[in-house]
Amino acid sequence: MAWGARLSTRRLWLASGISAPLGWSLAVPRLLIRREGDNLRIAAPQIRFLTGKSLERLKNAANVSFLSQISLSLDSAANVVIRKVDRFVLSYDLWEEKFKATRLTPPVKSMERLSVPAAEAWCLDGLVPIPTALTPSRPFWIKLELRAEDPKESAAIVGGAGINLTRLVEIFSRPPLNQQQQRWLEIAGPMRLQDL
């Protein structure tokens, strides 16, 4: 970590500590964003999605698919300029008690022998390109949306030509099909490049 980044982080923690009322604990951010060259790296270490029905299905030898979308907005949370949509599938090895995760949007990647936290971290780790309109002082927001895929939607998403990204974006533009569908939403911002 560069000296300037350490200093910025210390200032942020110091400012947070001074402004927090006595007796309040400082919450760990749900989305972590850092700059890597011409990209922003997004991580969500606090999101636990391998729980409940999804985990139960995996341990009953079924594959479970998830859809994720990362949006970058400029000037207001509603002004989306970049959208990155991913689809990934998890499976569970009953003998080794480990998970396999496969990202299905190009380029296809997979990772095996993962624990629950490692599988969640691998799936939610993403890069978003920094748009040219984003100057160091311009405010921006990052939004992460995650849904357990409804099996009824799979046919519309995956076809002979591969994954239909337009259909994935449409799915995130409407509410879930039913109340049982697991979903997570986290927003970070406003923030500025000069502070990262």
Task: Give backbone dihedrals phi and psi of 172, rounded to 5 degrees, phi first.
Answer: -75, -15
List the domain boundaries for the chain.
31-195
Q: What is the pLDDT of residue 98?
A: 96
Q: What is the pLDDT of residue 116?
A: 94
Q: What is the pLDDT of residue 46?
A: 87
In whole angstroms, give the CA distance from residue 81 to residue 76: 11
Q: Could you tell me the pTM of the whole model?
A: 0.70
In whole angstroms, give the CA distance from residue 13 to residue 26: 9
Q: CB atoms < 10 A from the CB of 89, how many? A: 16
Q: What is the pLDDT of residue 13?
A: 41
In whole angstroms, give the CA distance from residue 196 to residue 137: 11
Q: What is the pLDDT of residue 91?
A: 96
Strand, helix or coil at 94? coil
Return per-residue pLDDT of the chain as tens, 196 residues: 555 555 444 444 434 444 344 444 455 568 899 999 999 999 998 889 998 888 998 999 999 999 889 999 998 888 999 988 888 999 999 899 999 999 988 888 999 999 999 999 999 888 899 999 999 999 999 999 998 887 666 555 555 555 555 655 565 555 555 555 678 889 999 999 999 8
Q: What is the pLDDT of residue 179?
A: 54
Q: Are 109 and 102 within 8 A, CB to CB? A: yes
